[in-house]
Structure 1
């Protein structure tokens, strides 16, 4: 029996050797590709990538959904110090809402802008002031104080005011709140605007927009417009209240972010055509 085992072993070895020689050995694995060097891209392309990753559709605000909509995007900040320095300026060139709308944060004493470090506030280009929510009993937390940090907003150029309704209309009679007159909410809103104008060091433009139900000659709109004109600021109308359909558009916030990083010279950029009331 032993010899048979040896013969079988020899035959098996022969067969294995013949089979191995019939098939070529696996080719050596290719040389690993070199890592992609992101910062070798032109600055314009890098900033466009940041824009695609970081820009959201609505104004940035305190909202419980931020952990899904915004928080994952901010992981980009952690990649490297250099990437953070470029990316945060692009992120904060988006519109940021001054006072929150969500019910959980509506009465907070520390809006989003007050929670940001001063270096992030310095990168903000545009703020939105939403008027209408809480009109029957304006929140005491919604007032312009030094704690908001508006004086740190040295890049803030545009204030967008969106009016949801004007309680001076007669249909609101009986619903304005205790001891409130038809002008109470109007003056509350004008005081907010005055405070912003006084504290923001380089504000240039105020854009007023509203729902179609709010007329351009409504007392609140007239009061806001007069305040803007007296402050010597540029007044423009938003898309719902009369912005021309053929008006050119430009990502001014991104352009300014590039300029602050020294990546472009704004003096050589084409001027944006602005529509003035």
Structure 2
């Protein structure tokens, strides 16, 4: 016969919760007063300048230049940039106009792959009301210099007729096939230079609202080369257009700037005396 001492029995019968102090608050303390419901934030009552600043923050993840690029599509999906379009009709009108008026849209796709040869560039895929808000377009020249895609053609399907708010056309030159290093590889002498000049000319004809033409390129491109010469001859044809130079190249060589000054001044005096050239 085994006899269990009394003190062991008292320990066994004691509840565990009474042995250690409880860290849980009592039920009375756990009760929280309900938070009164308030109305929505009066966002539309904010000044328009402040709302514009907020739209800039919302769309900041988007790149400055938009194209048919899978990486850009991925950014849109991850950040849900366009969710604000579904809030209300007024927010839709304000946000869409801000987005399309503050980004540069590439006329022809340059991303390698199926989009590069598409017959429906980004502009052609946009509804007409969105194209009407665009203020800046980019024509990037160089991809496909030996065999341009068939979709690189300026026609009615491209939708330039609805781009009535465009003020700036940016032309970026990636390569100049007239350079000696392309000898033996180019389709024919002057082929791509003429092709590029025709694209530029057609865009200028179909978008008369353009006021400024910005030329830029990689540092290896020379102003005195065949590509830049062909493009500048087209720019000199249009009266009242301002020609400026982008920051990517730098255009730092004094000899090239003197040469370009002479070209533009000669074209202005011979054809269009009102053409303005701003040289930085």
TM score, norm. by length of structure 1:
0.76
Task: Tell me which moved more, 98-107 or 122-131.
Answer: 98-107
2:86 paired with 1:84: no
Contact 1:107 1:141 in 2 (8 A): yes
Answer 1 or 2: higher relative contact order, Cα 8 Å, separation at least 6.
Answer: 1
> Residue 228 of structure 1: CA displacement?
0.8
* Residue among 216, 219, 229 paired with 2:236: 229
- Once the two structures are superposed, what CA deviation does each residue of 1:131-174 show, in whole Å capped at 9, x if it has no partner? 00100111121011111110111101100000011000111011
> Residue 33 of structure 1: CA displacement?
3.4
Larger Rg: 2
Contact 1:123 1:153 in 2 (8 A): yes
Gaps of 5+ in 1: 1-20, 245-273
Distance 1:82 1:166, change over 3 A: same
> Residue 124 of structure 1: CA displacement?
0.6
Distance 1:275 1:30, change over 3 A: farther
TM score, norm. by length of structure 2:
0.75
* Residue among 35, 48, 60 paired with 2:66: 60
> Residue 275 of structure 1: CA displacement?
7.8
Determine the structure 2 residue equivalent to 1:18: none
- Once the two structures are superposed, what CA deviation does each residue of 1:104-146 show, in whole Å capped at 9, x if it has no partner? 2011111010111111110010001110010011112101111
Contact 1:234 1:276 in 2 (8 A): yes
CA distance in 1 between counterparts of 2:58 and 2:277 reads 30
The CA RMSD measured in Å over matched residues stands at 2.4
CA distance in 2 between counterparts of 1:153 and 1:202 reads 8
Determine the structure 2 residue equivalent to 1:109: 119
CA distance in 2 between counterparts of 1:214 and 1:168 reads 10
- Once the two structures are superposed, what CA deviation does each residue of 1:214-259 show, in whole Å capped at 9, x if it has no partner? 1121121122112112112110000023489xxxxxxxxxxxxxxx
